[in-house]
Amino acid sequence: MTLLPPTPAQQKRIDEQLPPDPEMRKQDIRAIREWLSKQPHLPNHMDNGRLERFLYGCKNSVERCKLILERYFSVRTSLPEFFAVRDPLSRDIQDCCDAIDFFVLPSLSDEGYRVTVLRVRDTNPEKFSIQTIARRILMVLDVRLTEETCLSNIMIIDFQGFHTIHFAKCFPTQSNVRRAMLAVQDSMPFRLFSVHFLHAPSSITSILNIFYPLLKEKLIHKFHVHNGGGEELYAYMNKDILPNEWGGKAGTLRELNDAWREKIEKNRDWFLKEEKFSRTDESARLPDSKPSSLLMELEGIQGTFRKLNID
């Protein structure tokens, strides 16, 4: 699956939001590289291109980038269930690809945002594993960090086929859900512009009410709840970038899902190698370097949810 670059019009909008400054970017990367060299507990194996994508995702803030890099490596040590075995050919990942559609659309929105879709294909709740879904999401995000930058992200979650037990598996009162959200939301330099819920059940308000007290008001305003399907998205984005079944031209849901399965499979060697390098060595941490607060946040839902990286 090829992620298409911005069109000239999209690039113009992107540059208006984050004006390019190549010389400043070089200076910032040097500063980040120098900081990494003084952090013996952190790896320093990323190439400059990948570091630039981290910096861009942090709105070119060097200090924010340092924080996210610390979290990026720390979470891989603190939450091994999402990072210790990331083989795209493993049975659980393959089963997840069969049961769950998860992919990034090839074309950007007119504003320059990447659009990601999550939906169930096999409605059997036994095939719905939060741990495996989170692991797969993180694999896709890592692939994106090796290939592209984007201004922000739109998430589409299609509830068609969801049953009560699916929702029960997503409740934040469960430790594995909190740990998954911490792994996905607090360790990646991706900003979130909006979330669209399709085929929302009548009980969606009650379900979301469980989350609302734990979320920043700014994030809540980015939620869009729809009772219908893909046609509900036309008011928010060019329908041509959507899957064929939703009136778009991007390809079928199955084609898009299979393309991303193939993409992570092609990166198998990279994933297996990264498992060994992208983690902290806590025994080498300097006394004046504070440990990551990830585990402390894990103790309380409040801390977990309030660290969302939103525009």
Q: What is the 3-state secondary structure (H, E, C) of 18-74?
A: CCCCHHHHHHHHHHHHHHHHCCCCCCCCCCHHHHHHHHHHCCCCHHHHHHHHHHHHH
pLDDT at 115 > cutoff 80? yes
What's the rounded Cα separation, in Å, for the pair 28 and 51?
10
pLDDT tens profile 266-292: 999 999 998 888 888 888 888 877 655
Interatomic CA distance for residues 232 and 57, integer angstroms: 28
Q: Would you state the structure tokens that stand for residue 26, as one six-digit string?
A: 């070089």
Q: Look over the chain and give the mean of its residue pLDDT values, rounded to a whole number.
A: 88
Q: Which residues pair with 196 in a beta bridge?
A: 156, 224
Chain centroid, CA 278 distance in Å: 17
Instruction: Please state the pTM of the whole predicted model.
Output: 0.90
Taking residues 41-68, report their average pLDDT.
Answer: 94
Rounded CA gap, 189 and 155, in Å?
Answer: 15
Binning pLDDT at 50, 70 and 90, where does residue 221 land? confident
Cα radius of gyration rounded to whole Å, the chain: 19
Res 110: pLDDT? 94
Rounded CA-CA distance 280/74 in Å is 6
- State residue 307's pLDDT score: 44
Longest dimension (CA), the chain: 57
- For residue 58, give both structure tokens: 């942090």
Q: Work out the pLDDT band at 155, boundaries 50, 70, 90.
A: very high
Mapped onto helix, strand or coil, the DSSP state of residue 242 is coil
Token pair belonging to 43? 């790896």
CA dihedral 206, 211, 215, 221 (to 10 degrees): -30
Q: Evaluate whether 103 touches 117 at the Cβ level (below 8 Å).
A: yes
Q: Where are the beta strands (DSSP E) in the chain?
A: 100-104, 113-120, 152-158, 192-198, 223-225
Contacts of 55 (CB under 8 A, 6+ apart): 25, 28, 29, 32, 61, 62, 65, 189
Give residues with Cβ within 8 angstroms of 15, minimum separation 6.
Answer: none
Of 140, 131, 130, nearest to 80 by C-alpha is 131
Per-residue confidence (pLDDT) for residue 308, from 0 to 100: 42
Residue 305 has pLDDT above 50, yes or no: no
Compute the distance between CA of residue 136 and CA of residue 90 in angstroms, rounded to an integer: 11
Name the band, by pLDDT with cuts 50, 70 and 90, for residue 122. Answer: very high
List CB contacts of 299: < 8 A, sequence separation 6 or more.
none
pLDDT confidence tier of residue 293, bands split at 50, 70 and 90: low
DSSP 167: H
Q: List CB contacts of 146: < 8 A, sequence separation 6 or more.
A: 50, 267, 270
Q: Are 201 and 157 in contact, with CB atoms under 8 Å apart?
A: no
User: What value does the mean pLDDT take over residues 45-51?
Assistant: 93
pLDDT band at 301 (very low <50, low <70, confident <90, very high): very low
**How much is the pLDDT for 133?**
95
In 3D, which of 293, 302, 303, 238 has the Cα closest to residue 78? 293
